[in-house]
Amino acid sequence: MSSIKILQLNAWSGRIKDGLSKFIADGNYDVVCLQEAVWSENDVGFIDLFMDSVDKIKAVGGFDYETRVSMYGIQVLDGSTRIERGNAVLSKIPFKNIEEIQLVKDYHIADSPENFHDVISYHRWPAQKITLENGLTILNYHGYWLKDPLGDETSVECMRRVADMIKNEPGPVVMCGDLNVTTEAPAMRELDFLTDLTAINNVKTTLRNIRFKKDVACDHILVTPGLKYHDFKVINATVSDHQALTVTIDLN
């Protein structure tokens, strides 16, 4: 039997420099699902001076495989450097297949202070599906955000499209994400064919209440019913404004 240790974490733009990458490396995870991760396609050295990028986390954590998808870009240093912010999956297990979909809005680049707010407020919401060489499918999604953790009709429609990516998977599935909605939200009913570990473990909040002043359990790990798992934990690490979730999956 093989075991796969998985981490779910909103990376908070990697702003806890060195701390985020060390936390992930120390955890010895096999697969890491990140939201609000950052990287630069053209100047890796610059971004690593100020924050922990996907490239830094990959190197420090010893991950050989990764895939990333940007939600929006920001041009800095008079346009010579572009920082991307989005989702990433890092793995020590080879990938067999990668798919992604874009939900709701479009990709834009903030190239001036005047359009920065509009870009970060109206960016696209992508979802990633990765099938590992061992047959496990990983779904990584940063949920459509509203102030109300119960979401709205758009939240439901986005989640329905994400659910459609994995409903007919022949093998086991693990879905991770800062889904931006609580278990009680109508959008989560689209995922009732999975077991929500956040819900069944009665997790009250996955926020660290650095910026938010109420308890909201918006981060989730969901698994195929009957899939063997153990050591589900919520970790209040000082590396993000969200808490980290981790679980170990056993495959036959």
Q: Read off the pLDDT of residues 194-239 as tens digits, 9 standing for 90 and up.
A: 999 999 999 999 999 877 778 999 999 999 999 999 999 999 999 9
Q: Tell me if residue 60 falls in helix, strand or coil.
A: helix
- 67, 58 Cβ separation under 8 angstroms: no
The span from the CA of 55 to the CA of 153, in Å, is 36
Residue 77: pLDDT band (50, 70, 90) is confident
The torsion angles phi and psi of 137, rounded to 5 degrees, stand at -100, 130
Q: Check residue 35 and give its pLDDT.
A: 98
The torsion angles phi and psi of 168, rounded to 5 degrees, stand at -105, 20
Q: What does the domain layout of the chain look like in residue ranges?
A: 2-251
Residue 100 structure tokens? 């992604």
Across 236-245, average pLDDT: 97
- Give the pLDDT confidence of 19-72 residue by residue, as tens digits: 999 999 999 999 999 999 999 988 778 888 899 999 999 999 999 999 999 999
Whether 1 has a pLDDT exceeding 70, the answer reads no
Q: For the chain, percent helix, then strand, then coil, each to nearest 5?
A: 25, 40, 40
Average pLDDT, the chain: 93
The span from the CA of 250 to the CA of 201, in Å, is 19
Whether 114 has a pLDDT exceeding 90, the answer reads no
- 219, 188 Cβ separation under 8 angstroms: no
CA nearest neighbour of 124 among 152, 97, 87, 176:
87
For the domain made up of 2-251, give the CATH fold: Deoxyribonuclease I; Chain A (3.60.10)
Q: Tell me if residue 167 falls in helix, strand or coil.
A: coil
The helix or strand, by DSSP H or E, that contains position 73, with its residue range, turns out to be strand 65-76
Which pTM was predicted?
0.95
Check residue 190 and report its DSSP letter.
G
